[in-house]
């Protein structure tokens, strides 16, 4: 059920929407989709170990080209046998190209046809990253899935600005494809186009003409409202080839994941579960729980009575509240284990529902429980 040149295999499809269940093959193995990828920007998923990630069922994590390029340097990581060995992670690794980080540091960066000239956010030193450099760095890191260097579009942006930026991303994508010498590493193109459906569709087709191992939807969750974001997903996914994986970058909440799957997305990443954990915001099957609230000071229950994570099996809300208010490092660790487990379990439930062709009913039940906490 897959194109012989594609890493994606379709296993099941919903009869009620665009949701689908599949697998993606990398040189490191196979991961199941739809999938959520914990973000390990600097060679670590904050506050947890690789063993913690494996125990909760994480199959693939994300690293970042920009940050690892600056520190500790891709050549050092390469000397240690690549990022898998360097950080002791046995699953697959996807690396973002660094385009979004350069965009977010726009006061320190200058984008030209050749690439991005920028200053390190650490020490201000002058650096340069071209499309070819982005591929070289990712190949040195040993990434299983590499991303093309793209130019992110601010929100709001004029149509003219969006066209110019998107066309530059297309030219960079061609250069990335030509620089891609390690064909055992997958390379994904990134669809841009701002908040213009026609530009996203046009750009998707331009990337298909170049030819990639998968296609990502970038430039969303940058300030637009949810309706705009979902409209851009709906406009983009049908243009992309069904026999290849589709990745929605940097999105988002549990609800965003459910809606993305409904519209045909296979892969997701976001810092939300780890960042929220450090801020004391915990995801549950009945909505978010803010552990610093006084009501949890003497609450004997686990975070989520439906959860089987290490944290919920062993600790009360009262203890987690104490750790948070005492600013203990263990608070980060236990909260992060719970939030990432929640996201992994959410995807397990999604995959099971699609296999049974019951995703619409599962989605309705998912929303009916929110707000009960």
Show which residues are catalytic: 96, 269
Closest C-alpha among 301, 217, 223, 224 to residue 264? 217
136-to-84, 143, 334 alpha-carbon distances in Å: 17, 11, 37
CB 157, CB 225: distance < 8 Å: no
Look at the chain and count its residues: 373
Please state, in angstroms and rounded to a whole number, the distance separating the CA atoms of residues 340 and 333.
Answer: 11
Cα-trace Rg, the chain: 20
H-helix or E-strand spanning residue 30: strand 29-33
CB 136, CB 128: distance < 8 Å: no
First and final CA of the chain: distance in angstroms? Answer: 42
Angle CA 257–177–109, to nearest 5: 70
The torsion region of residue 287 among left (phi > 0), alpha (psi -120 to 50) and beta comes to left
DSSP 97: -
Please state, in angstroms and rounded to a whole number, the distance separating the CA atoms of residues 192 and 166.
Answer: 6
Please state, in angstroms and rounded to a whole number, the distance separating the CA atoms of residues 92 and 145.
Answer: 8
Site of tokens 């969750």: 221
Site of tokens 């984008």: 111
């Amino acid at each position: 059920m897959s194109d012989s040149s594609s890493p994606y295999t379709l296993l099941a499809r919903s009869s009620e929407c665009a949701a689908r269940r599949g697998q993606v093959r990398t040189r490191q193995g196979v991961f199941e989709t739809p999938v959520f990828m914990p973000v390990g920007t600097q060679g670590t998923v904050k506050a947890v170990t690789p063993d913690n990630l494996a125990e909760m069922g994480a199959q693939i994590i994300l690293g970042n080209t920009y940050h690892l390029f600056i520190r500790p340097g891709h050549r050092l990581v390469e000397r240690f046998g690549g990022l898998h060995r360097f950080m002791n992670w046995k699953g697959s690794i996807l690396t973002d190209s660094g385009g979004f980080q350069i965009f977010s540091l726009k006061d320190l960066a200058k984008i030209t046809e050749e690439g991005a000239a920028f200053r390190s956010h650490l020490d201000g030193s002058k650096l340069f990253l071209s499309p070819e450099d982005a591929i070289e760095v990712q190949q040195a890191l040993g990434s299983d899935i590499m991303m093309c260097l793209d130019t992110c579009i601010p929100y709001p942006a004029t149509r003219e600005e969006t066209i110019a930026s998107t066309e530059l991303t297309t030219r960079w994508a061609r250069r990335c494809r030509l620089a891609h010498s390690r064909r055992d590493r997958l390379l994904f193109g990134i669809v841009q186009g701002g908040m213009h459906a026609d530009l996203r569709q046009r750009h998707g087709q331009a990337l298909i003409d170049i030819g990639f191992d998968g296609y990502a939807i970038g430039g969303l969750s940058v300030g637009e409202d949810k309706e705009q974001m979902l409209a851009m997903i709906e406009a983009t996914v049908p243009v992309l080839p069904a026999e290849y994986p589709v990745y929605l970058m940097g999105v988002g909440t549990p609800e965003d994941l459910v809606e993305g799957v409904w519209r045909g997305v296979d892969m997701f990443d976001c810092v939300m579960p780890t960042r929220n954990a450090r801020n004391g915001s915990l995801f549950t099957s009945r909505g978010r729980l803010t552990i610093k609230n006084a009501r949890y000071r003497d609450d004997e229950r686990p975070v989520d009575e439906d959860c089987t994570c290490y944290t919920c099996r062993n600790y009360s809300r009262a203890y987690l509240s104490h750790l948070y208010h005492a600013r203990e490092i263990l608070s980060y660790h236990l909260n992060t284990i719970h939030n990432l487990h929640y996201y992994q379990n959410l995807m397990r439930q999604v995959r099971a529902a699609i296999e049974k062709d019951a995703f619409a009913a599962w989605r309705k039940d998912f929303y009916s429980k929110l707000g009960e906490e």
